[in-house]
Amino acid sequence: MGLHKILKEVFSLLEHTISKCIAIKQQPNAKESVLIGDPSQLQNVFLNLALNARDAMPEGGELSFSTDFIKLNKQACRKYGIDFAPGTYMKISISDTGIGMDAEVQRQIFEPFFTTKEKGKGMGMGLAAVQGTVKKHKGEITVASQPGRGARFTIFLPLSKKAS
36-61: per-residue pLDDT in tens? Answer: 788 999 999 999 999 999 999 999 99
Instruction: Look at residue 160 in the predicted model and tell me its pLDDT.
Output: 66
Give the model confidence (pLDDT) of 50-102 as tens digits. 999 999 999 999 999 999 998 888 888 888 778 777 888 899 999 999 999 99
Return the axis-axis angle of helices 3-17 and 39-55, rounded to nearest 10°. Answer: 40
Ordered by start, the domain boundaries in the chain are 3-14+23-158
pLDDT averaged over every residue in the chain: 88
3-14+23-158 belongs to CATH 3.40.50.800: no
The structure's pTM equals: 0.89
For 75, the 3-state DSSP assignment is: helix
Q: What confidence tens digit (pLDDT) does each residue in 111-158 have?
A: 888 877 776 666 667 899 999 999 999 899 999 999 999 999 999 998
pLDDT at 33 (0 to 100): 75
